[in-house]
Amino acid sequence: MELSCKSEYALLALIELSLHYSKGEPLRICQIAAEQAIPDRYLEQLLATLRRAGFVKSQRGAKGGYLLTREPWKITLLDVVSCIEGFEAKAKEVKSPTTAEGAAVWEVWHEVRQGAEAVLEKYTLQDLVDQRNARQQVDLMYYI
């Protein structure tokens, strides 16, 4: 379970799309990239992955861009992260330990992974949006 910059970019983009979800209008890559300070050509690759996985759909041509295919509260962070970090995560898990010591270590590794997945599964995109709004509320209070 990697928590790389890649996953973070993907999540930020999806949060941005969640914020515009109710409008129903597509959001351009360059808009998302500018808002979240992500290199746009890199974000393009990530959105392509997310599109192939069915999280977003694209609308080509003028006034085009990306849209969420599901409601923000129906996409968990685990969905996104495991999509971005690749399906070969399974292959890594299959490597069977050769020694009794290896098996003991493997069990702990597995527990750590399960814990991480449990946390990521607990939150949806909507939760992050709400958290963001709450944070901005706090910032506003400080401003006053």
Partner DNA sequence: ATTATACTCCGGTTCTACAGTGGGGATTAC
Partner DNA sequence: GTAATCCCCACTGTAGAACCGGAGTATAAT
Residues that bind a second copy (CB under 8 A): 1, 3, 8, 11-12, 15-16, 35-37, 77, 98-105, 107-109, 111-113, 115-116, 118-120, 123, 128-129, 131-132, 135-136, 139
DSSP tag of 131: H
Coil vs helix vs strand at 57 = strand
**Cβ contacts of 105 within 8 Å, gap of 6 or more:** 97
12 and 36 in contact (C-beta within 8 Å)? yes
Kindly state whether residue 4 participates in binding DNA, applying the rule CB under 7 A. Answer: yes
Cα 23–Cα 79–Cα 117 angle in degrees, nearest 5: 135
- Site for DNA, residues 25 to 84, rule: CB under 7 A: 26, 28-30, 38-39, 41-42, 44-45, 47-48, 51, 58-66
- Binding residues for DNA, rule: CB under 7 A, are 2, 4-6, 9, 26, 28-30, 38-39, 41-42, 44-45, 47-48, 51, 58-66, 85-86, 88
